[in-house]
Amino acid sequence: MEEAVDTLVERPSWHRFLNPILFGSGLMASVIQPIFLLASGKDVNDAIWPHAYRALQATMFLRDQLTLMFFISLILFFSSAASIKNQMSGKPPHQITRRILLFISGLTTGFLILYFLLDVFYLRGAFLLLPTAYGIILLCCLFVIGGLPRLPERTSKTRCLLA
């Protein structure tokens, strides 16, 4: 009989760091302008102001286009629900799709962090549509990347600890 050929390919050692690197690069892409402005000698207010202005413009656009935001949110939720259905039937999303969504998740997380910093220093809770849109994007990306949250399996160690 012929021996079975191992079809598994050895992955490079950097492969396990690829997902955190993608998330971190998305995070850095969102905050690169304020960091660059701070490094060029601007003070904190001048470094954050371009992002604050864009956040206000985006919030005003979302306020004017509530119907568009609603339908885009529905499309995102239905596409993530379709992805979850595929994952439950045994077809995970393509690796490139997961990696793109990891970058988008990092980007959205960075924008959320900047928005909350702006909210503390400038906006004082005046606008809620932009972080809501960020939250919807982040939730849908996380559903596609990881599927529905599951409870961990109970092992013999936890049974001993709980008994």
Maximum Cα interatomic distance, the chain, rounded to a whole number of Å = 74
Is residue 153 over pLDDT 70? yes
Q: At residue 106, does pLDDT exceed 70?
A: yes
Q: Which of the two residues, 74 and 157, has the higher pLDDT score? A: 74
CA distance 76 to 134: 12
Q: Which two tokens stand for residue 51?
A: 């992002």
Q: Residue 9: which pLDDT band, with cuts at 50, 70 and 90?
A: low
- Region of poorest pLDDT, from 11-20, 57-66, 94-103: 11-20
pLDDT of residue 1: 46
* Average pLDDT across the chain, whole number: 83
More confident residue, 127 or 78: 78
pLDDT in tens, 67-102: 999 999 999 999 999 998 888 888 888 889 889 999
Note the pLDDT of residue 65. 93
pLDDT, average across residues 107-134: 83
R_g of the chain, CA atoms, integer Å: 21
pLDDT score recorded for residue 46: 84
* DSSP sequence for 106-132: HHHHHHHHHHHHHIIIIITT---HHHH
